[in-house]
Amino acid sequence: MKDSEILASETQRLAENYREIIGLLGEDVEREGLKKTPERVAKSMQFLLKGYQEDAEAVLKSAMFCEEEYKQMVIVKDIDFFSLCEHHLLPFFGKVHIAYIPRNYITGLSKIARVVDIFSRRLQVQERLTLQIKECIHKTLNPLGVMVVIEAQHMCMQMRGVEKQHSMATTSDFTGFFQQAKTREEFMNLIKK
């Protein structure tokens, strides 16, 4: 984590840029409702993009337990996430479903949700987010297989552009035992329940 002086300096620099952007868009940055907006937006962006300051592998390793004999699927489903599309800086959000089959190591279930938070709190595209979550779990836990499915709504498609309010994007990625259709099908059936 950054120390408070560096963070305050970055907040101030961001706020100055947002003040200029608001002015360029035709608003009066000095009017009552907007006076503190540049600083609020700067702090908001720092929170929404805090994943750059965190290490997902370290989070998983902090709760890694070894020598477990369990060799079946461990599933954490319906993990809420919020991210910002790197193309338009508009939100996309939804659910992440993750399964892994332990080889020797298991991890605390909350750490899997934390991995989702870390990667989603960066400028993203859904495809990369899916891949990064899968690769982090695969590299850190060395399981027999990992599968990640993400279902998301994208404000860049709903608020602008094609304006399709009920569209949903689904991505998936998998390794190991999940390359077998039967194992993938079992996971998909379990997350639908």
Q: E strand or H helix at 71, and its extent? A: none
Q: Which of 10, 16, 27, 87 is catalytic?
A: 87
CA atoms of 117 and 83, how far apart (whole Å) = 9
pLDDT, position 3: 77
pTM: 0.92
Q: Examine the residue annotation and report whether 66 is marked as an active-site residue of this protein.
A: no
Q: Which of 124, 136, 138, 154 is catalytic?
A: 154
Q: Examine the residue annotation and report whether 10 is marked as an active-site residue of this protein.
A: no
- Residue that the structure tokens 């996309």 belong to: 92
pLDDT, position 74: 97
The CA-atom distances, in angstroms, between 168 and each of 26, 45, 126, 158 are 34, 25, 11, 10
Helices (H), 25-147: 37-48, 56-61, 109-120, 126-141
The CA-atom distances, in angstroms, between 57 and each of 75, 109, 151, 176 are 19, 14, 23, 19
* DSSP category for residue 110: H
Residue 95: pLDDT over 60: yes
Q: Which of 85, 124, 136, 138 is catalytic?
A: 85
Q: Which residues pair with 174 in a beta bridge?
A: 147
Q: Which of 10, 86, 127, 185 is catalytic?
A: 86
CA atoms of 168 and 97, how far apart (whole Å) = 15
pLDDT, position 160: 85
Q: Examine the residue annotation and report whether 166 is marked as an active-site residue of this protein.
A: no
pLDDT, position 76: 98
Q: Name the band, by pLDDT with cuts 50, 70 and 90, for residue 62.
A: very high
Query: What is the per-residue pLDDT across 183-192, written as a single tens digit (0 to 9) for each?
Result: 999 999 999 9
Q: Which residues lie closer than 8 Å to 176 by C-beta, 6 or more apart?
A: 101, 138, 143, 144, 145, 146
Query: What is the per-residue pLDDT across 135-183, written as a single tens digit (0 to 9) for each?
Result: 999 999 999 999 999 999 999 988 888 888 888 999 999 999 999 999 9
Query: What SS3 class is residue 139?
Result: helix
Percent of the chain with pLDDT over 90: 84
Mean pLDDT computed over 47-61: 96
Q: Which of 39, 57, 151, 156 is catalytic?
A: 156
The CA-atom distances, in angstroms, between 14 and each of 8, 11, 18, 41 are 10, 5, 6, 8
CA atoms of 187 and 93, how far apart (whole Å) = 22
Q: Which of 46, 88, 151, 153 is catalytic?
A: 88
Q: Which of 124, 126, 136, 138 is catalytic?
A: 126
Q: Examine the residue annotation and report whether 85 is marked as an active-site residue of this protein.
A: yes
Residue 84: pLDDT over 70: yes
Q: Examine the residue annotation and report whether 136 is marked as an active-site residue of this protein.
A: no
What average pLDDT is seen over the chain?
94
Contact 129, 150 (CB under 8 A): yes
Q: Examine the residue annotation and report whether 156 is marked as an active-site residue of this protein.
A: yes
Mean pLDDT computed over 107-128: 97
* DSSP category for residue 36: T
Contact 11, 46 (CB under 8 A): yes
Query: What is the per-residue pLDDT across 16-25, written as a single tens digit (0 to 9) for each?
Result: 999 999 999 9
pLDDT, position 1: 56
pLDDT, position 163: 81
